[in-house]
């Protein structure tokens, strides 16, 4: 008796591609250091001691060290004011020994995060969080991409996913993830739909997606029955217990390509940060190729 099994999506291995990007960043760092006598330097700024943020910053610094990129850590008290944080970011922006600045999101609710991001000099905005970078992304101009969306685009390209003329649905519209992801997809000629917490009939939209980006911040939020058969599913979510915003088991039975959690979007975000830090250093040291 023949048995019917549901098709299983191919995994998009973000870890493997990110490893290659880190190797490439390491080679470029070695070359830049040899030519200029200065290694690229990323300043990481952490407000408070939220355990997840502490872990993310440690992972980013470890990855920098692996590539020969120096990092300078600035730990600020949770109670720091917006003005205090802006002061610290301006100092780093003016320091010629720092080539890139990462302000770990989120900062405390009493801080005006947007104002803090805007204190980062555009040429050092390697995390792509300033209005300057956002506008450059939207207008298709040279600039730093927001790291998670930038990493997602690289992953889609690596797996040869055609974007022009395809319908991309982004669930989430946050300034650091959903919104710029949609802009980058639009820049690649996809037809883009944004969904958010006020979207009516969410499933009617997600089921139309050739490329579905889950950036909701809710564990296992999107299920297989909400996905178009054969769609490419990118799960940008991360929750404790290695769970994403997509219910992997049901989605993998419907999608053609899917990112795992962990090992999908997460490592690509960090690799993009490293790549952009080396780009920033090369420009600031007058050694851009
Ligand atoms: P966020 O700022 O909380 O934004 C969540 C978005 O989802 C908002 O736009 C919100 O809509 C929308 N949303 C919430 N509930 C919804 C619902 N029921 N239906 C439709 N849309 C809904 O989160 P974020 O910072 O973008 O992060 C999203 C996820 O990505 C999280 O799991 C986070 O951990 C993960 N993340 C991963 C990385 C990485 O490197 N892998 C980096 C950043 C974030 P409204 O705008 O209407 O509120």
pLDDT one-digit tens code per residue, 115-132: 999 999 999 999 999 999
pTM of the model: 0.96
In the chain, the N- to C-terminal Cα span, in Å, equals 62
Dist. CA 67–CA 15, nearest whole Å: 15
- Residues forming beta bridges with residue 212, ordered by sequence position: 169, 233
pLDDT tens sequence across 239-275: 999 999 999 999 999 999 999 999 999 999 999 999 9
> 210: which residues sit within 8 A by CB, 6+ positions away?
166, 167, 168, 228, 231, 232
pLDDT, tens digit (0-9, with 9 covering 90-100), for 194-235: 999 999 999 999 999 999 999 999 999 999 999 999 999 999
pLDDT value at residue 186: 97
Whether residue 151 is found in the same domain as residue 262: yes
Query: Could you tell me what percent of the chain has a pLDDT over 70?
Result: 97
Quote the pLDDT of residue 2: 39
- Name the pLDDT band for 6 (thresholds 50, 70, 90): low
Domain count, the chain: 2
Examine the residue annotation and report whether 38 is marked as an active-site residue of this protein: no
pLDDT of res. 288? 86
Average pLDDT of every residue of the chain: 96
- 155 shares its domain with 245: yes
Has residue 15 been placed in a domain?
no
Q: Is 124 a catalytic residue?
A: no
60 is an active site residue: yes
User: Which atom of ligand 1 is least distant from the CA of 173?
Assistant: 9
Is residue 217 in a domain?
A: yes
Ligand 1 pocket, 172 CB below 6 A?
A: yes
CATH of the domain at 219: 3.40.50.720
Question: Active site residue: 124, 125, 127, 210, which one?
Answer: 127
**Within a domain: 162:** yes
In this structure, is residue 274 part of a structural domain? no
Give the domain range for residue 190.
147-266
């Amino acid at each position: 008796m023949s048995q019917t099994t549901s098709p299983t999506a191919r995994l998009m291995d973000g870890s493997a591609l990110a490893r290659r990007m880190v190797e490439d960043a390491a080679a470029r760092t070695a070359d830049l250091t040899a030519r200029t006598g200065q290694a690229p330097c990323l300043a990481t700024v952490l407000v408070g001691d939220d355990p997840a943020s502490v872990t993310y910053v440690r992972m980013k610094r470890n990855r920098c060290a692996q590539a020969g990129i120096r990092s300078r850590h600035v730990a600020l008290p949770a109670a720091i004011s917006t003005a205090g944080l802006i002061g610290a970011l301006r100092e780093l922006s003016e320091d010629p020994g720092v080539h890139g600045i990462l302000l770990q999101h989120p900062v405390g609710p009493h801080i005006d995060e947007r104002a803090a991001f805007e204190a980062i000099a555009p040429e050092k905005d390697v995390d792509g969080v300033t209005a300057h970078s956002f506008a450059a992304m939207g207008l298709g101009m040279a600039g730093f991409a927001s790291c998670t969306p930038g990493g997602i685009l690289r992953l889609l390209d690596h797996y040869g996913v055609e974007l022009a003329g395809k319908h991309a649905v982004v669930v989430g519209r946050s300034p650091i993830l959903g919104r710029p992801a949609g802009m980058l997809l639009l820049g690649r000629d996809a037809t883009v739909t944004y969904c958010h917490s006020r979207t009516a009939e969410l499933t009617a939209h997600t089921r139309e997606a050739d490329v579905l980006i889950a950036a909701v911040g809710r564990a296992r939020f999107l299920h297989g029955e909400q996905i178009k058969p054969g769609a490419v599913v990118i799960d940008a979510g991360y929750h404790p217990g290695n769970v994403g915003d997509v219910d992997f088991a049901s989605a993998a039975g419907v999608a053609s390509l899917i990112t795992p959690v962990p090992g999908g979007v997460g490592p690509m975000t960090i690799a993009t940060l490293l790549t952009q830090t080396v780009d920033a250093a090369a420009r600031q040291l007058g050694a851009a190729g």
